[in-house]
Amino acid sequence: MLIKSEFDIQFHLPFRTPMLAMLHVHPSLEAQLITPERLKVEHAGPAEENEGTTELAVEEYVDRFGNRCSRFVAPPGAIRLTGSSVVNASDTPDLQGFGLPLTPIEELPADVLQFLLPSRYCEVDRLGSIAHDLFGRLSPGWEQAAAIRDWVHERVMFNYNAARPTKTAMDVFTERVGVCRDFQHLAVTLSRCMNIPARYVTGYLGDIRVPYGGPGDFSAWYQVWLGGRWWDMDGRHNEPRLGRILMATGRDAADVAITTSFAVANLTHFYVESNEIDEHGKAVPLPPSQATIQGSVQQHA
Amino acid sequence: MLIKSEFDIQFHLPFRTPMLAMLHVHPSLEAQLITPERLKVEHAGPAEENEGTTELAVEEYVDRFGNRCSRFVAPPGAIRLTGSSVVNASDTPDLQGFGLPLTPIEELPADVLQFLLPSRYCEVDRLGSIAHDLFGRLSPGWEQAAAIRDWVHERVMFNYNAARPTKTAMDVFTERVGVCRDFQHLAVTLSRCMNIPARYVTGYLGDIRVPYGGPGDFSAWYQVWLGGRWWDMDGRHNEPRLGRILMATGRDAADVAITTSFAVANLTHFYVESNEIDEHGKAVPLPPSQATIQGSVQQHA
Amino acid sequence: MLIKSEFDIQFHLPFRTPMLAMLHVHPSLEAQLITPERLKVEHAGPAEENEGTTELAVEEYVDRFGNRCSRFVAPPGAIRLTGSSVVNASDTPDLQGFGLPLTPIEELPADVLQFLLPSRYCEVDRLGSIAHDLFGRLSPGWEQAAAIRDWVHERVMFNYNAARPTKTAMDVFTERVGVCRDFQHLAVTLSRCMNIPARYVTGYLGDIRVPYGGPGDFSAWYQVWLGGRWWDMDGRHNEPRLGRILMATGRDAADVAITTSFAVANLTHFYVESNEIDEHGKAVPLPPSQATIQGSVQQHA
Amino acid sequence: MLIKSEFDIQFHLPFRTPMLAMLHVHPSLEAQLITPERLKVEHAGPAEENEGTTELAVEEYVDRFGNRCSRFVAPPGAIRLTGSSVVNASDTPDLQGFGLPLTPIEELPADVLQFLLPSRYCEVDRLGSIAHDLFGRLSPGWEQAAAIRDWVHERVMFNYNAARPTKTAMDVFTERVGVCRDFQHLAVTLSRCMNIPARYVTGYLGDIRVPYGGPGDFSAWYQVWLGGRWWDMDGRHNEPRLGRILMATGRDAADVAITTSFAVANLTHFYVESNEIDEHGKAVPLPPSQATIQGSVQQHA
């Protein structure tokens, strides 16, 4: 299945601003990229100066987690970050590791051990007893991992207005409301508490063969390490999905911000889309939405 | 100057326990090591079984921060971790980067950027306004970095009983009391808030050419990146010192725990020493303690 | 000056719901009330039952802070709380206690002492050192109290979306953004840290002789005890105002919620107004708004 | 049964210090007091001035919770607070309200409602979902109240070193370790979350007809409101006890500090005892301690 992802993000910058971006697909998808992919950063100076648009030099580097990152310095004015990719993605929904046992600590690859530790938004050191209370009687491994994902999905409500940059897994556990990243932070933390290595993921998750779900955005999910590999998990959209396009992985959202600005940057435009296309590049139509039916059900609730 | 460091740490383990340890001197000191260094882990089974002591197999690996780490699995019973090293250390006290300007973000090596981010015990995202209130009027770079270190040193009191594993920089900022790691977490966080890359360090800091300061322990300090290199800073012992022996660096204490046990591990013995020795291996005597004088001064405070 | 205040608040209740309300003007304003005031609570059952509207029995009581409170039980369905009052308010803007010294603890009335203690949203026990760092060099009493109010006003930004029910003074201090109650919680806490008794206030603060400021709402401010009396302070609207109509005082917002529902209560309508009226009951027109001028200034900022 | 309680608490004060104390038995015990009770505060100036001891004037007042409080101002130097009481206490261990249903909110006395609200150390607004997860399936009322007390008793470990003044119920819930007040704060909070009014209590709880339990101290427990009265509950000593002597009740520890000093006060001596006496005033001997037996059991754990 072909997945075309694209973005157009614009900021107004009052000052000269160094920026970082993690807007590439993940190096592990290199072989599946149908078209070469790049990040284009354009700058337009103050309107009165009428200088037109210039493309800014962008330097690329790979961070310690293996993510492809970009950095550049933008002069004051308007900047625009654009890019697109076509990835030959798997035709199979998220794989399931039913029945996998917990990997003993001593068999974990050295590089995976760090995903057991506490991190900024994942207070493993505070949620340990809570996790054991909730999931300690389940079979270690996939059963626990899936139960954690399901618990988070059922107990936390989605609400865009409940987002805030400092919100941690503990906050999500007590407030039970949040956005994408909040669901994943709580699930990641509870997983690590049960000695299941878990890492935070950003990427594209378009409405692929599911009904239209609203304007596009980047998505967050997470991965757990069991049976010698990472498995995609999603505390918010708790169903096997098609078309996840991995961009970056890290301990938590602190490691994989889409953009980081080292001065004031006012977002002025934000467009992200990720869609299935056919071999001619045309968008594959989505199945009909079931919003009406769901609406009437809710009215009686 | 020759610095001999050694440790003898013992645990009683009720269960089979996978463990991690960061008990080597840092790879960057390799060339200064006078004697080869290794971690020895011995195990004694339950006394009644009378099996004597066996040495456990220890696997070594280098983590993403470049630290030399060890891992092993210990059967139930008593374990003992020992090791020693002699390092040919610099004869110069901690170097000072007086007057160094702040390195512009765009000139920071890619690998240094991560030390601007928030981490588990360093809530850069919560202390930003506070740091700017306190240090925003100072000259960016060394002046700010030194002012942060001094402020932490003056405002936070040392108290062993005020330690707890979940204590963060924000907790230290409000409680104003803590142990070694707490001083450094607060200073690291405030430094990052001012765009000064800062990382947490563990190592040996014995009483080298200073009066006896009490039983030995591992120490924590931190480093800031200015002028193209890392500089040692110490929010607790705020004076240039001799004989710091680097063991590991990370974002904060979560990355560089001396030992990590994945089951109950009861500490039964703890000995750490780090001393200057002469070319014959003899300890160099310390200067006389000034404890009496200080004591009488305190009486009038 | 006559101030007419009125409200119309409606909820949909899925279940039978006990509720508390603090919707009366404060008993201390009794003598200034021009018209008797009461809280009317009406209930309409499910539409299909066509039962019309019934008025619910409301019980009144005075809480330990001396506030006039109401309690009632509402059956499932729609409820509507309405009320209005006309108060003969002072023609003088908020009085200022310039130069008042701090009242020594031993001279505080016993009943005022509680307003030095920490409370749910006012962590006096965590902000003590911070307050002394910021305000410790100022003259104790009014000068400190005013400096605290000004500091909060200048450093915290208003943003409706930054509200959340669990937000504390410490959160406001770090996030520097919030709504009315958040400004006051921080100012109350910092005042108490300097031994200035401070209590949280809810009431009406309409656009009285100031330009139109947007749709009406209840307001929060606070009071400090100096020179033998309480003085109104307002960390958000930091200018002497006319027409504050006191409703309730307490340690913090936990004590003086406008309504408290002991089951799900979905707000469906919210109208609050407080205006100056003339002797014929007509609204006194407001001075012209300066929004346009301010807007153009902001454009160049 | 006669219970004699006494205390001798001494501080060194560098400065003139206003102080509050809650060192009386509760007014509700007035009729059971065998001997009149008073708080004596003595002051000794600096040794070199040789002025001997003077008794300080102490003012008494009753706070909003109905507790008998004392206030005084102490000059610099040493102060000593002493007092004793003999109370004719009930011969029955803590009464149990087995089977009592939850009191509907609308039937709670107005004065009891405040004990449903969040307070400084009891974040009812953060623990609501957690409490419902844990106790929501139990029968509302005594069954829930007892289950909460038992849960806290079983899941939290006692450790004197884990005390800190800012520790809240949420901290106890995550850290699972604390002192007396921490157990009660968590239980109070969880009870309120289930709409069971709960208040914090300080008092004497000596080793009365139980084996010697270590040096005396004031104790904290809590009370829940069910069936029209308050019932003693104790999350730490989770067994019906004899000889609880009530001193003060409040929302949490912030309301009922034994002493509050408005300047530095260094504790130099602390003696508290509460014992059963016979009609001649002689201490009734305790049953034999089972420490030895317990010790040997622990050795095999």
Which DSSP helix (H) or strand (E) runs through A74? strand A68-74
Contacts of A175 in chain C (CB under 8 A): 164, 166
In this complex, is the C-beta atom of C166 within 8 Å of any C-beta atom belonging to chain A?
Answer: yes
Query: How far is the CA of A212 from the CAs of A209, A274, A289, A290, in angstroms?
Result: 9, 12, 6, 9
Cα A105 from chain centre:
26
Distance, CA of D233 to CA of D220 (rounded, Å)? 10
Contacts of D117 in chain C (CB under 8 A): 120, 254-255
Distance, CA of C200 to CA of C222 (rounded, Å)? 4
Contact D166 C63 (CB under 8 A): no
Residue D60 C-alpha, separation from nearest chain A C-alpha, in angstroms: 42
pLDDT-derived band at B290, boundaries 50, 70, 90: low
Chain A contact probe: residue of D133, D156, D167, D189 with most A CBs at under 10 A: D133
Average pLDDT over residues B253-266: 95
Q: Which two tokens stand for residue A245?
A: 């396009």
pLDDT digits (tens, 9 = 90+) for D96-137: 999 999 999 999 999 999 999 999 999 999 999 999 999 999
In this complex, is the C-beta atom of C170 within 8 Å of any C-beta atom belonging to chain B?
Answer: yes
Chain B contact probe: residue of C125, C129, C155 with most B CBs at under 10 A: C129
Give which of B197, B198, B194, B195 is closest to B137, Cα–Cα.
B194
Q: Is D189:D174 a contact under the CB 8 Å cutoff?
A: no
D159 phi and psi angles, rounded to 5 deg: -160, 115
Contact B126 C175 (CB under 8 A): yes
pLDDT digits (tens, 9 = 90+) for B214-239: 888 999 999 999 999 999 999 999 99
Contact A126 D176 (CB under 8 A): no
Strand partners, D222: D200, D233
Please report the residues numbered 172 through 201 in chain A whose beta carbons come closer than 8 angstroms to any beta carbon of chain D.
173-176
Q: In terms of residues, how long is chain A?
A: 301
pLDDT-derived band at D194, boundaries 50, 70, 90: very high
Give which of C85, C207, C226, C208 is closest to C148, Cα–Cα.
C226
Chain D contact probe: residue of A173, A174, A175, A189 with most D CBs at under 10 A: A174
Residues 6+ apart with CB under 8 A from D39: D21, D23, D24, D58, D70, D81, D82, D83
Neighbors of chain D with 3 or more C-beta pairs under 8 Å:
A, B, C
Contact C127 B155 (CB under 8 A): no
H runs (alpha helix) in B18-68: none
Neighbors of chain C with 3 or more C-beta pairs under 8 Å:
A, B, D
Q: Which two tokens stand for residue B163?
A: 């330690």
| D287 or B259, higher pLDDT | B259
The chain-wide mean pLDDT, for chain D, equals 93
In this complex, is the C-beta atom of B298 within 8 Å of any C-beta atom belonging to chain D?
Answer: no
Distance, CA of B158 to CA of D40 (rounded, Å)? 36
pLDDT-derived band at D143, boundaries 50, 70, 90: very high
Q: Which two tokens stand for residue A225?
A: 């390490």
Antiparallel, parallel or unpaired: β D77-88 and D157-158? unpaired
pLDDT reading at D301 higher than 70:
no
Residue B27 C-alpha, separation from nearest chain D C-alpha, in angstroms: 36
Give which of B194, B260, B268, B192 is closest to B223, Cα–Cα.
B192
Contacts of B104 in chain A (CB under 8 A): 18
Whole-number pLDDT of residue D36: 86
Measured N-to-C along each axis, helices A124-135 and A180-193 cross at an angle, to the nearest 10 degrees, of 80
Distance, CA of B221 to CA of C197 (rounded, Å)? 41
Task: Supply the DSSP string of C132-198, one letter for each residue.
Answer: HHHHTTSPTBHHHHHHHHHHHHHH-EE-GGG--TT--HHHHHHH-EE-HHHHHHHHHHHHHHTT--E
pLDDT digits (tens, 9 = 90+) for D20-57: 999 999 999 999 999 889 999 999 977 666 678 999 99
Neighbours of D144 (CB within 10 A): 25
Q: Which two tokens stand for residue A218?
A: 């980047």
Chain D contact probe: residue of C41, C113, C185 with most D CBs at under 10 A: C113
Residue D165 C-alpha, separation from nearest chain C C-alpha, in angstroms: 8
Verdict on whether the full-model pTM lies above 0.90: yes
Among the partner residues A161, A166, A175, nearest to C161 by beta-carbon distance: A161
In this complex, is the C-beta atom of B299 within 8 Å of any C-beta atom belonging to chain D?
Answer: no
How does DSSP classify residue D254? G
In this complex, is the C-beta atom of B165 within 8 Å of any C-beta atom belonging to chain A?
Answer: yes
pLDDT digits (tens, 9 = 90+) for B6-60: 999 999 999 999 999 999 999 999 999 998 899 999 999 776 666 789 999 999 9
Look at residue D137 and give its three-state secondary structure: coil
Whole-number pLDDT of residue D50: 67
Contact B106 A18 (CB under 8 A): yes
B224 phi and psi angles, rounded to 5 deg: -115, 150
User: Burial code of C181-202, b = ≥16 C-beta within 10 A, e = fewer?
Assistant: bbbbbbbbbbbbbbbbbbbbbb
Which DSSP helix (H) or strand (E) runs through A172? helix A169-175
pLDDT digits (tens, 9 = 90+) for C99-157: 999 999 999 999 999 999 999 999 999 999 999 999 999 999 999 999 999 999 999 99
Amino acid at A147: A
Contacts of D60 in chain C (CB under 8 A): none
Q: Is C198:C115 a contact under the CB 8 Å cutoff?
A: yes
Q: Is B146:B97 a contact under the CB 8 Å cutoff?
A: no
Q: How far apart are the first and last CA of chain C?
A: 38
Contacts of A122 in chain B (CB under 8 A): 120
Q: Is D69:D61 a contact under the CB 8 Å cutoff?
A: yes
Which DSSP helix (H) or strand (E) runs through B61? strand B59-62
Contact C166 D71 (CB under 8 A): no
Amino acid at B245: I
How does DSSP classify residue B126? H
Among the partner residues D110, D120, D166, nearest to C120 by beta-carbon distance: D120
The chain-wide mean pLDDT, for chain A, equals 93
Query: How far is the CA of B40 from the CAs of A170, B59, C51, D53, in angstroms?
Result: 39, 11, 84, 63
pLDDT digits (tens, 9 = 90+) for A261-287: 999 999 999 999 999 999 999 999 888
Among the partner residues C126, C129, C174, nearest to B127 by beta-carbon distance: C174
Whole-number pLDDT of residue B109: 98
Chain A contact probe: residue of C48, C160, C164, C300 with most A CBs at under 10 A: C164
Contacts of D125 in chain C (CB under 8 A): 120, 165-166, 254
pLDDT digits (tens, 9 = 90+) for B197-217: 999 999 999 999 998 888 889
Neighbours of B12 (CB within 10 A): 15
In this complex, is the C-beta atom of C56 within 8 Å of any C-beta atom belonging to chain D?
Answer: no
Task: Determine the residue of chain B that is closest to A193 in CA distance.
Answer: B262
pLDDT reading at C46 higher than 80:
no
Strand partners, D203: D219, D246
Please report the residues numbered 117 through 146 in chain C whose beta carbons come closer than 8 angstroms to any beta carbon of chain D.
117-120, 122-123, 125-126
Whole-number pLDDT of residue A288: 78
Among the partner residues D161, D166, D174, nearest to B161 by beta-carbon distance: D161
Look at residue D13 and give its three-state secondary structure: strand
Contacts of A166 in chain C (CB under 8 A): 174-175
Task: Determine the residue of chain C that is closest to A300 in CA distance.
Answer: C14
Contact A254 B65 (CB under 8 A): no
Contact D174 B161 (CB under 8 A): no
How does DSSP classify residue D99? T
Whole-number pLDDT of residue C213: 86
Burial class (CB in 10 A: 0-12, 13-18, 19+), B43: buried
Contacts of B123 in chain A (CB under 8 A): 120, 166
In this complex, is the C-beta atom of B60 within 8 Å of any C-beta atom belonging to chain A?
Answer: no
Which DSSP helix (H) or strand (E) runs through A78? strand A77-88
Give which of A226, A192, A199 is closest to A116, Cα–Cα.
A192
How does DSSP classify residue C123? -
Contacts of A174 in chain C (CB under 8 A): 166
Distance, CA of B212 to CA of B210 (rounded, Å)? 7
Whole-number pLDDT of residue A214: 85
Q: What's the per-residue H, E or C state across D211-234?
A: CCCCCCCEEEEEEEEECCEEEEEC
Q: Is the dihedral of CA A231, A237, A238, A239 positive or negative?
A: negative
Please report the residues numbered 70 through 109 in chain A whose beta carbons come closer than 8 angstroms to any beta carbon of chain B.
71-73, 104-106
Distance, CA of C285 to CA of D96 (rounded, Å)? 64
CA angle centred on C172, ends A266 and B172, rounded to 5°: 110
Task: Determine the residue of chain A that is closest to B74 in CA distance.
Answer: A106
pLDDT-derived band at A105, boundaries 50, 70, 90: very high
Distance, CA of C80 to CA of C44 (rounded, Å)? 8
Task: Supply the DSSP string of B143-207, one letter for each residue.
Answer: HHHHHHHHHHHHH-EE-GGG--TT--HHHHHHH-EE-HHHHHHHHHHHHHHTT--EEEEEEEE--
Look at residue C105 and give its three-state secondary structure: helix
Distance, CA of A206 to CA of A213 (rounded, Å)? 9
How does DSSP classify residue A242? S
Q: Is D101:D143 a contact under the CB 8 Å cutoff?
A: no
Chain B contact probe: residue of A105, A188, A256 with most B CBs at under 10 A: A105
